[in-house]
């Protein structure tokens, strides 16, 4: 299966390099910015296309790896080309294959193929991609073609429904981007306590890494510790009296979710007083 990429940013370059090194099936890159496509082609030892239609002709599968708000525009060009029988994929986490409007009329097959990974670098992230879980959504009759493509690079994947794509993407944001905000809130509170930026990071590191490793090892319920799990209403009340602004709101919202976990871990305990405090 010959694979071509429209868009030569971080995701396109990384996924293209992975296909090139594991399956040697990469055709090359086309990009509105010619320099980026040329750089990606040089890096992956593939072709740089100055004409979009030529890339389409030489590819069996086309990945549209442009920003989300540009996918529809690229598709509006592709749909008028000879794409019958080809697999058309995008890598957006939030958009489904429904963005390929009227694709049935073209004879092509549409998919979203998304890696659950923060792809941060054009030239190194391809080494991290095998650690990620990919989600596939799209044409049910030809989805085995995409599964085979990922199998060829030893990638893990799960099939999801297009109707849950937004919720799925939101879940990914919760455990990645919003964790950054949560750590920043902790850093800000420690800075108020007199910690330097470096001291705050040093203090947070073992707590954060230890907790993540514990969660991944035993699951969220068994990993839970702290004042909410102990039903320590007094300590939680003092925290709420100390924090203010958005950090207090973060604390309250996440604490309400933590109570749910604590109740699952200790069904014999009564958490109503704590729930009342957090809901005020």
Write down the domain spans for the chain. Answer: 3-162, 177-279
At 173, the pLDDT band (50, 70, 90 cuts) reads very high
Average of pLDDT values for 77-91? 97
Assess contact for 132 and 156: CB atoms under 8 A.
Answer: yes
CB 86 within 8 A of CB 56: yes
167/18 Cα distance (integer angstroms): 28
Q: Is the pLDDT of residue 236 over 90?
A: yes
pLDDT band at 104; cut points 50, 70, 90: very high
8 Å CB contact between 120 and 10: yes
| DSSP string over 119-141 | ---TTTGGGTGGGSEEEEEE-GG
With bands split at pLDDT 50, 70 and 90, how would you rate the model's confidence at 102?
Answer: very high
- pTM value is 0.89
pLDDT of 163 > 90? The answer is yes
**Averaged pLDDT for residues 206-210:** 97
Please say if the pLDDT value at position 89 is more than 90. Answer: yes
Rounded average pLDDT over 152-158: 97
Q: Which residues on neighbouring strands pair with residue 87, listed in sequence order? A: 61, 109
What pLDDT, on the 0 to 100 scale, is given for residue 95? 96
Mean pLDDT, the chain, integer: 97
Q: What CATH number is given for 3-162 in this structure?
A: 3.40.50.720
Q: Is the pLDDT of residue 15 over 90?
A: yes
pLDDT band at 33 (very low <50, low <70, confident <90, very high): confident
- Taking the CB of residue 62, how many other CB atoms lie within 10 A of it? 26
What does the pLDDT read at residue 280?
87
Please write the tens of the pLDDT for every residue from 54-72: 999 999 999 999 999 999 9
């Amino acid at each position: 299966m010959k694979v071509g990429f429209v868009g030569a940013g971080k995701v396109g370059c990384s996924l293209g390099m992975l296909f090139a090194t594991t399956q040697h099936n990469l055709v090359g890159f086309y990009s509105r910015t010619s320099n980026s496509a040329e750089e990606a082609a040089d890096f992956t030892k593939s072709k740089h296309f100055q004409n979009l239609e030529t890339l389409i002709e030489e590819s069996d599968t086309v990945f549209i790896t442009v920003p989300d708000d540009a996918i529809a525009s690229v598709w509006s060009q592709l749909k008028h080309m000879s794409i019958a029988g080809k697999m058309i994929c995008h890598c957006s986490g939030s958009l489904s294959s429904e963005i390929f409007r009227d694709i049935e009329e073209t004879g092509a097959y549409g998919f979203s193929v998304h890696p659950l990974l923060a792809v941060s670098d054009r030239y190194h992230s391809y080494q991290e991609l095998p650690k990620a879980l990919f989600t596939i959504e799209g044409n049910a009759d030809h989805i085995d073609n995409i599964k085979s493509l990922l199998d060829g690079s030893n990638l893990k994947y799960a099939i999801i429904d297009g109707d849950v794509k937004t919720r799925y993407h939101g879940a990914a944001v919760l455990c990645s981007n919003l964790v950054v905000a949560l750590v920043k809130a902790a850093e800000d509170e420690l800075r108020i306590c007199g910690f330097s930026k470096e001291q705050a990071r040093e203090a947070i590191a073992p707590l954060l890494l230890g907790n993540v490793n514990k969660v991944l090892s035993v699951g969220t319920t068994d990993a839970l510790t702290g004042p909410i799990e102990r039903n320590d209403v007094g300590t939680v009340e003092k925290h709420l009296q100390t924090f203010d602004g958005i950090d207090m709101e973060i604390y309250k919202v996440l604490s309400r979710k933590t109570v749910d976990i604590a109740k699952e871990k200790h069904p014999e305990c009564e958490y109503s007083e704590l729930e009342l405090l957090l809901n005020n």
